Homo-oligomer: A and B are copies of this chain.
Amino acid sequence: MEEIRIRRLTYENKMDSYSLDDYIRIVKEFHGSLAPGLLIGGFMVDLALKNLPKGEFFDAISETKTCLPDAVQILTPCTVGNSWLKVLDFSRFAISLYDKSTGEGIRVYIDPSKIEKWPEIKNWFYKLKTKKEQNYRLLIDQIKEAGAGLCSMKKIRIKPELLGGHAHGSRIANCERCGEAFKIKDSPLCPACRGGDPYGVQ
């Protein structure tokens, strides 16, 4: 069997790759376990990178909070903390990589029409079986065999108003209630003090 390799993009904007075993090892270190979604995610990022238009800097979108953000963070320079990866909570299993300046790029998604021939993947993806009922070994084997064959892709262009990223010129002030610094816009209270605080009374 031909050795499977997973492309990755470095900070120097160079294309490189991991062996599948190395990718799996890094996934376990970073994500804690080889989640099926991260294995598929590796193939998805690989497919996107293979088809990326020429460009200088790339941003990424994950259309789900689950698993896929970590595949992007492991295989590209885009992380949540450096703001090159945006996580949109659409619950669609899809990623996009696009040129920061033009918005042109590639979207890769799990294609429902291609999943039928992989019953254990279908069971997992559509939650037709509980985690206990799933056969993890078989699932992983089917994902390895299917690879990017589960996915389709299309060219995308991000809406211009969503490009640009950083809000320059924002003003920082201390919140009138909690006293901590935040990006002040319309209210003298920070978003947490306006009602989003996750902390209960001690």
Selected A-B contacts with CB under 8 Å, 24 pairs: A30-B73, A32-B82, A63-B192, A67-B82, A68-B81, A70-B80, A80-B87, A90-B190, A91-B183, A92-B181, A92-B191, A92-B192, A94-B180, A107-B199, A109-B180, A110-B181, A125-B172, A126-B172, A126-B173, A127-B171, A155-B202, A156-B202, A157-B200, A160-B200
**A181 contact set on B, CB distance < 8 A:** 92-93, 110, 112, 125-126
| Interface flags, A116-146, vs B, CB<8A=1, else 0 | 0000000001110000000000000000000
Q: How far is the CB of A91 from chain B (nearest CB, A)?
A: 4
User: Is A5 among interface residues, defined by CB-CB distance under 8 A?
Assistant: no
Tell me the complex Cα distance, A125–B158, Å: 31
User: Is A38 among interface residues, defined by CB-CB distance under 8 A?
Assistant: yes
Contacts A93-B180, A110-B181, A155-B202 aside, 11 further interface pairs with beta carbons under 8 A come to: A32-B82, A37-B81, A63-B192, A89-B191, A90-B182, A90-B190, A90-B191, A90-B196, A109-B180, A112-B180, A156-B202
In the complex, what residue of chain B is closest to A94 when comparing beta carbons?
B180
Contact A190 B91 (CB under 8 A): yes
User: Is A54 among interface residues, defined by CB-CB distance under 8 A?
Assistant: no
Of A79, A83, A181, A190, most buried by chain B (CB within 10 Å of CB) is A181
| Interface residue ranges, A against B (CB under 8 Å) | 11, 30-32, 35, 37-38, 61, 63, 65-71, 73, 77, 79-83, 87-94, 96, 103, 107, 109-110, 112, 125-127, 155-160, 162, 170-175, 178-183, 190-192, 196, 198-202
Tell me the complex Cα distance, A171–B65, Å: 16
